[in-house]
Amino acid sequence: MKKITILMTVMLIATFTTFAQHSGGNHKHGSPHGGTVKSAGDFHIEVSVKDGMVMAYLLDGKEKTIKNTGVTGTAVIQMADGKTSTISLSPSGNEGFMYTLDKTKKYNKAIVTFTSAGKTASASFDLTTKAKPAADGHNHQH
């Protein structure tokens, strides 16, 4: 049973990762909040990590932040030991969502999924590297 659970988890991560990598083509993205932006169907998703705090934003096709009213978000987090957990994202302000990582654990990836007006957007993010500062030199990860 444990092997089946692990296999299903790996397949789920692989499916979402493949979808996230191929859903929006290969092009550059702006970063309104100083994080990493990935294409996710008709949307984009931005994620930034600072001091164990993960901020996630749903962006429209022109990379403008969408208000979080009526939007729900989850993240499937993969730890360095291969275990996964699903976290509901909490609204933060008018536009963002957040969750806090356990600083005693090491993480590999997060698959962030948003649902808005019946549409779903999902993208995979590497949690082992830190986001780069924005082009203006400021760290916009608030």
pLDDT at residue 66 in the model: 94
Please report, for the domain that includes residue 33, its CATH number.
Answer: 2.60.40
The mean pLDDT value of the chain amounts to 78
Q: Is residue 140 in a domain? A: no
pLDDT at residue 26 in the model: 46
Confidence at 46, pLDDT banded by 50, 70, 90: very high
For the whole model, what pTM was predicted? Answer: 0.70
- Domain range for 94 is 2-126
Confidence at 28, pLDDT banded by 50, 70, 90: low
**Nearest-angstrom CA–CA distance, 106 and 20:** 23
Count of domains observed in the chain: 1
